[in-house]
Structure formats: C-alpha cells, structure tokens
Amino acid sequence: MKVQFNREALSQALALLTTIVPERTPKPILRCVKIDAGKDSVRIYGTDLEVGVNCLIAAADVKQEGQVVVPAGRLAAVVRESADETLLIEASEGKCEVKGADSHFSIYGQEASQYPTVPTFEDGADIELLLNTLRTGILQCLFATAKESTRYAINGILWEMKGKKLTLVATDGRRLARCRVNLTANPSEKASATKIIVPAKTMSLLEKLTGSEKDKVMVRLVDNQIMFACGDVVISSNLVDGNFPKYEDIIPSDYQKKLTLPTAVALSAVKRAALLTSEESRGIKLAISKNKLVFSGRAPETGDAEVDVVVEYAGEPIEIGFNPQFLTDAIRVIQEPQFELELGQPDTPGVIKAGANFLYVVMPINLS
C-alpha cells in the first residue's frame, strides 16, 4: 500500500477513531485502526466490537492499493505532531512507514486479515434528520445518562418516533432529560413501531461529528444494531438491551407553583450560590416568596452565600433543595432566553421546561 494523504484530513479522521479505540484490551488488534486503500478511495476503520467507525478519506492519492493495521494512538500522534501539509504512508509485511519532508517513522502493525469487520451503510434509511438537529438533541440529553449502573437500560438514550418527531430521553435515576427534535422525513414503519436505546458512548461520538447546516444524518436499524451515515463517516453500534423506565409516569403534571426565569441570570445565580458549598453540604436552597427567589448555599466550615433574583410569583412560599450541579447541567443546555420552573412540595421533583421541546425533571435533596 502506498498513499499520499492530506495531513489535516487524516488527522481529523484519526481523532474521531481514537475516541472509540480502547487503550487497554486483551485483544491487541483492537488498539489498532485499519487503513484500506482501494483503487479510487481510502477508508479507515476502528472498532471496540460494540461501536465501529468507518471514515472515507477524500483527500488522498492512492499510488498503490493495499491494507495495513497499525496502532491507532501511535499513528494519530505522528500525524498530529507533523508540520507537513501532506504525508506519504507506505505499508508492507506488517510495517507502516510514515514519511514527511524531514521525518520517517516506521510503525509495526498487525495482520490486516485478522481485523474485525466494521459494517458499511447500505442504501435506504429508516430515519433522516439534520446533523445540527441531532447534535442539539444529544446536547440536551446526554448529560443525564447514568455513568455507571447495573441497570444497563439507563446507560443509554431512549429513542421514540412519532410522525416527524424524534423524542430522546435520558435518566440516571435522580434526574431525567427529554428533548424532542424534528425529522426531515417520516420514519419507516419499522422505526415508528420500535423503541430503541442507543448507548451513551455512541451518542457522544455522534456529537463530535462536524458538518454544515444542511448536512443530514441517515439512520438504519439492522437487527440489534443502529447505523448512522453523515458525510464521509459511518458509525455502527450495538443497541442497549433492557427496558427503559416508564418515564411518563414520573413527569409531574399538576404543579401549581410556577415561575419564569431568565436563563443566563438563573445559571449565574446557581453557580454563585454553590461557591461556598462543600463535599458534606453539596446542596443549595431555593426560597421562593412573593416576587422573590433567593438561591443560597452554606457550609459550616466555609460560610454562606445568597443570590437574590426578582421574579413574578404570587403563589404559596416554598423552600426546596437541589444538587447545584444537576441544575447547572440542565440550564446550560437551554437554548431559549428564559425557562419555566415548576414545583410541588419540598420533597417532590422540580420540573424545568424550555420552549416546546425541552423538559427536565430533577429530584430534590434534604438540606436539614
């Protein structure tokens, strides 16, 4: 194999691939990427056996066809640190040579025929939506997924289709984020009739995709896998097994205490009220009375903080505690200038709503 690459294009592809290639694995070949140079195109593959990435490198001049499997981290570092506009990569007998104007690296690889198969995207999509739309949905849900849990179903994001709307839902048991986004076409009958759970790792990878406002993401459902195609990148992933919680049952619908808050003002108030909290006293208190909301935090060994915000409110006074990080996570992804805060009792969840498409439920904490 012999290929002249545009260094920047190669570096971008490797940066995406190295996010899924495992650093530690009992199978050394999984720490590698596979470069496949055909007559007219070059593709680079990476996988951890759960998620796979297949990138077309358009800015490449194939001088000799062939394949090579080479450690991803090593190759990515060499390409990233190079100052050359183009790099020549030659491979034979399991050795990969990377040549620049003043450099020459020899990296030992593995047998290309032993590399796992990474799926390609066939014609026909079950779901279509704009890349920017999907990225917005991921931004407003991904933070609420469970990071470590034996309940595997909440380690991913639920997808539900209804008409030309996709609903994304994530929860870690203490909070829940729901976002609705528009599809560019009606989903297939198969997609409309299916609820799927996409791993958080896969959703995070999709969020890293770059493109223009017009770029679309095409989605296919194949057995227990989901596949995404956007531009020159194809991502394949296993779906999460298990039953997602019946999230509709935990969204309060009868709260009477409601107020509207400016997004930027509320985010600043939460952050400032949390400045003097400690590991032992992580919560902040929201004290709401007539036309006034006070955010406060305290720690016996540190001190007290209070931030006053003027609001329009004429309901019953209430004091309620929340984890400030849980509030910050939600408010910072709101793309509207203001949002609604709905409350019930001090021991019931709070609800944040922004626009017609974003909803967040967060459990309170006891500050006594």
Q: Which residues contact 320 (CB under 8 A, 6 or more apart)?
A: 285, 286, 343, 346, 350, 364
Q: Which residues contact 76 (CB under 8 A, 6 or more apart)?
A: 11, 14, 15, 17, 18
CATH numbers and ranges of domains, the chain: 2-114 (3.10.150.10), 127-247 (3.10.150.10), 251-362 (3.10.150.10)
Q: Is the pLDDT of residue 280 over 80?
A: no
Task: Read off the tokens for 78.
Answer: 């060499």
pLDDT in tens, 251-279: 999 899 999 999 999 999 999 999 988 77
Residue with tokens 């305290």: 298
pLDDT attached to residue 200? 94
pLDDT attached to residue 368? 72
Q: Which residues contact 208 (CB under 8 A, 6 or more apart)?
A: 16, 19
Question: Which amino acid, one-letter code, is at 159?
Answer: W
User: Per-residue confidence at 220, pLDDT binned at 50, 70, 90?
Assistant: very high
Calculate mean pLDDT across residues 330-346: 96
pLDDT in tens, 37-80: 998 899 999 999 999 999 999 889 999 999 999 999 999 999 99
Calculate mean pLDDT across residues 285-307: 93
User: Per-residue confidence at 148, pLDDT binned at 50, 70, 90?
Assistant: confident
Q: Is the pLDDT of residue 334 over 70?
A: yes
pLDDT in tens, 316-332: 999 999 999 999 999 99
Beta bridge partners of 168: 159, 179
Higher pLDDT, 167 or 122: 167
**With pLDDT > 90 as the criterion, what percentage of the chain qualifies?**
85
Calculate mean pLDDT across residues 344-359: 96
H/E element, 205: helix 200-207
pLDDT attached to residue 356? 94
pLDDT attached to residue 229? 96
Higher pLDDT, 246 or 151: 246
d(CA 236, CA 46): 10
For all residues of the chain together, what is the average pLDDT?
Answer: 93
User: Per-residue confidence at 301, pLDDT binned at 50, 70, 90?
Assistant: confident
pLDDT in tens, 149-205: 667 789 999 999 999 999 999 999 999 999 999 999 999 999 999 899 999 999 999
DSSP for residue 219: E
d(CA 172, CA 155): 8
Range with lowest mean pLDDT among 142-146, 162-166, 294-298, 299-303: 299-303
**With pLDDT > 70 as the criterion, what percentage of the chain qualifies?**
99
Q: CA Rg, the chain, in Å?
A: 25
